[in-house]
Each structure stands twice: as C-alpha cells, then as structure tokens.
Amino acid sequence: MVRVAALDRAAANELSFFANPRYAAEFAATGAGITLVSPDLAEHPGPACRIVVAKPQEAMLLVLPALYPPPPRATGIHPSAVIGAGAKLGKDVAIGAHSIIGENAVLGDRVVIGPLCDVGRDVEIGEDSHLVSAVTLYPGTTLGMRVRLHAGVRAGSDGFGYVATRTGVQKIPHVGRCILEHDVEVGANSTIDRGSIADTVIGAGSKLDNLVMIAHNVRLGRMCLIAAQSGIAGSTRLGDGCMIGGQVGVTGHLELGNNVKLGAGSGVMDDIPDGQMWSGAPARPQREWLKATSAFYKLADRLREIERQLNEKKS
C-alpha cells in the first residue's frame, strides 16, 4: 500500500475504508488493494481483501503518518520578512516570505509563521504554534502552544461596538485581549474579535471551522467544536465540550453550559443548561423542535381539515 484513496478511485496499491452503508455500491466495485470495514458492514458484497475493524476511520489515522510523511518543516527566516524592534524569537522559529513581526512580539520555540502574515506588536505566540498563511494577529493577541491558524484568520480585531450619543454613533474603544489557549485550531477566513473591556477567550483544545465569527468578550470553554459559518455574538459564554453545527447563530450575553449541542442552522436566543441538544430558529430543545417541525409541514392540510369538520358540524 502506497496511499489511501476513496473507494471509487482506489487502485490495487491503495488502502480504502468502508464505514457507511451509503457507499455500499462503491465498496462492491472498488479496486482498492485492502479495505478497512466496520463490523456491521462486514458481510457486504465486495473485495475479499478486507480488514474488519471497530472504527475504520480511527484505524486509518494510525496508518496515515506512515504513508504520508509530513513535508519537511519550514526553517529559517526569509530575507523578505520584516522583524520589528524588540521582537523575541525562540529556537528554530521559521518565518515565511513577506511576513511581518511587530515590535516586542514574543514567539516561542519552533513557532512557524507562514508567508504573508501580519503579527502585530506585543503579540505572544506559544511553542510549536503555526500560522499557515496570510494570517493577521492584531496587537497584543495571545496564542497558547500548538495553536494552528489557517489562511486568512483574523484575530484580535475590534469588536462591533458603538453607542448612540447625542452627536451620533460613537465607537467603543476595544482594550480587552484576544486569547487563544493551547491546541486551538481555527479554519480559513474565520474572525475572532478582541474584548471590549473583558477578554475574548477560546478555550484549550477548541476547534473552529472556516468562516466562523467570534465576537467581542465571548468565552468558549475547552474542547468546543464549531462548524463553518457559525457566529457567537458578544459576551456569550459557552462551557466545555460544546458541539455547534454549521451556520448556527447565538445571540449575545447568553450562557450555554457544558456539552451543549446545537443543530446546524440554529438561532439561539436563550440560555441552555449542561448537556442539552437544541435546534431551530428560535432554538428549542431538540425533541420540542422535532415535534414542531414535523407538525409544521402538515400544518396547512391539518388546519384545513379541522376547519372543514367544524364547518360541517355547523351546517
């Protein structure tokens, strides 16, 4: 085996996996040399050379590093990079072409800054963190260790805060911090604002997908997952282990507990206790939403039938 490949394009020297019955046809016709198959699908017709394993995807993870050695780590500081006065670079820091490190920024050992990044003054970046490409860190942004920011991430920007005064709309200065703790990963073109007075904090181990928006003063707990295009409005707090689907919106000044789950597309306007799953817009507990949604699409017919019966009785 020299590579992994999806069932429908795998060749005899490639490894594939089959963990979802939706792909039964692809499995039956696959040219893969070896296929990892989950136990419940073990009897499906398909190639003989299969390895039945509890979690094929997880098993594949163990194999990938052997088949795909990571590219050699970037090293050195590109001559086009601009390093500000007083910046402190740890051991084996790499800085890509046309990147800028602001005054008094502190980069830990083995930090990799890709090309075209703007690291503002007074930024702190923990060991082994990686800014992939074209990332902007506003002044004073603080990253823990092993943080990974994908292309186009903007962290530490001013929050959207204005007060209406007698003379018009006045901007609220943003003097809080923007803190991403250890092992946070943020997807392409996502934005995380700094705090106004309090801090914006993304808890350790949390993962954000692409085009996610985190507003000023939001506090995310540890190990939260937020799917693409979701947004958390100002000053809302999430506990640990929350799982947020795609295109979710959570309004400001709410408290979501630990291990809260939100269905894709939800619009949350209320506090949510620990461990609950909510969906819908406005969002409600999952069972309540399922019941209402299911009724919704039968609504017109049921109402008409009821009104017909009532009229019948009248006449």
Footprint of a copy of itself on residues 162-221 (CB under 8 A)?
162-163, 165, 168-173, 175-176, 185, 187-189, 191, 193, 195, 197-199, 205, 207, 209-211, 213, 215, 217
Pick 115 or 257: Cβ nearer a copy of itself: 115
Instruction: Choose, by CB under 8 A, the member of 1, 52, 104, 158 that binds a copy of itself.
Output: 158
Least CB distance to a copy of itself at residue 48 (A): 21
CB atoms within 10 A of CB 187: 21
- The count of residues interacting with a copy of itself (CB under 8 A) is 110
Question: Exactly one of 150, 174, 216, 253 is catalytic; which is it?
Answer: 216
**DSSP class per residue in 179-198:** EE-TT-EE-TT-EEEPPSSS
- Rule CB under 8 A: is residue 281 a binding residue for a copy of itself? yes
Beta strands 94-95 and 88-89: pairing type? Answer: unpaired
Q: Which of 93, 100, 184, 218 is the binder for a copy of itself (CB under 8 A)? A: 100
Cα–Cα distance for residue pair 237/283, rounded to 1 Å: 17
- Choice between 91 and 169, CB closer to a copy of itself: 169
Q: Is 302 exposed, middle or buried (0-12, 13-18, 19+ CB in 10 A)?
A: exposed
Q: In the structure encoding, which two tokens stand for residue 173, read together?
A: 């200065």
Interface with a copy of itself in residues 20-79 (CB under 8 A): 20, 22, 55, 57-58, 60-61, 64-65, 67-68, 71, 78
The b-or-e profile of 101-140 (16+ CB within 10 A means b, else e) is: bbebbbbbebbbbbbbbbbbbbbbbbbbbbbbbbbbbbbb
* Residue 90 · residue 127 · CB < 8 Å: yes
The residue (of 24 and 151) whose beta carbon lies closer to a copy of itself is: 151
Which residues, 105 to 134, sit near a copy of itself by CB under 8 A?
Answer: 114-116, 118, 121, 132-134
**Please, what's the b/e burial string for 218-235 (b: 16 or more CB within 10 A of its CB; e: otherwise)?**
bbbbbbbbbbbbbbbbbb
Count the Cβ atoms, other than its own, within 10 Å of residue 182. 17
Least distance between a copy of itself and beta carbon 161 (Å): 9
Least gap, CB of 45 to a copy of itself (angstroms): 21
As measured in angstroms, the least distance from the Cβ of 256 to a copy of itself is: 14
Question: Least distance in Å: CB of 105 to a copy of itself?
Answer: 13
Among 40-48, 86-94, 123-131, 291-299, the segment contacting a copy of itself (CB under 8 A): 291-299
Active site residue 216: yes
> Does the footprint of a copy of itself cover residue 313 (CB under 8 A)?
yes
SS3 159: coil
C-alpha closest to that of 34 among 53, 68, 24, 20: 53
Enzyme catalytic residues = 216
